[in-house]
Amino acid sequence: MLAGLIIIVSGKVTGVSFRSSAKKEAEKLGLNGYARNIETEKGEAVEIMIEGEEEILSEFLAWATKGPKTAKVKELEFNYREYTGEFAGFEVVEE
């Protein structure tokens, strides 16, 4: 079943290639969406919006709990959402 997933990852996740690593992982799994840095009340974080097969999204979510070796994920929040099909590929959004 196709679905969407919004993930907010906080901790040491900016300046450690988290977004580019998310792109590589998403492309490896055949998922579409984006990753961008955001500011939250807890500090800097990475927001990932991703779409694809629900079971593959679960694989990506498992990866996101750790991220690249240079990251230190402190907290991860996620919400599933309806699939929209609005993304073609995966993009790293530069601020």
For the CA atoms of 29, 30, 33, 37, the dihedral, rounded to the nearest 10 degrees, stands at 30
Amino acid at 5: L
Angle, CA of 15, 77 and 47, to the nearest 5°: 40
Q: H or E element: which one contains 29?
A: helix 18-29
Q: Which residue reads 């800097």 in tokens?
A: 44
Please give the positions annotated as active site. 19, 37
